[in-house]
Amino acid sequence: MNCPIRSQENREWLLDYSAGRLDRERTAMLERHMEACPVCARFVAEQRVVWDALSQWESPELSPDFNRRLYHKIDQVQPSSWVERVLRPLWRPMVPVAAACLLILAGVALHTPTAGLSPDTSHARVESVEPEQVERTLDDLQMLRELALTPQEHTGTTQPM
């Protein structure tokens, strides 16, 4: 006979033997096997301890007014509407899903460029600049600064533009 614990076959024999439900032929085979197999013998001994503890356990007696209190609690339960019965099991999974959706929306909103900028201006590159063009631009800026510092004829004060 193969070991029921190691080979995984006839494992239920050990439980039936421990509970006293195994037929005579299989009982004799299993007892011969347990003489040579300490693993199965230990398993049966541990199961017998469990079965002995279960057979000694007695359930507590019910109080005389147990049924009355039970029916009273049942009567106090308010019948829920069909909407509550449908939404109650869905509420807990919906909260994390809604939070994840809000985080995704916030990430998309913060990642996108502002609406006022066109995509062409945000990535504009100047390939080549002529030195004369730079010089004319600097001269124009200088002229604008000088115009801003000249006194205005109307008010008599100098104010930058």
pTM value? 0.38
Tokens found for residue 76 = 């106090």
Q: Which residues, including other chains, have CB under 8 Å from residue 15's CB and lie 6 or more apart?
A: 47
CB 151 within 8 A of CB 157: yes
Residue-range domain boundaries for the chain:
4-56
CA gap 48, 74 in Å, rounded:
40
Where does the pLDDT of residue 10 fall: very low under 50, low under 70, confident under 90, or very high at 90 and above? confident
Quick: pLDDT tens for 44-95. Answer: 899 888 888 888 888 888 888 999 999 999 888 877 777 777 777 777 788 8
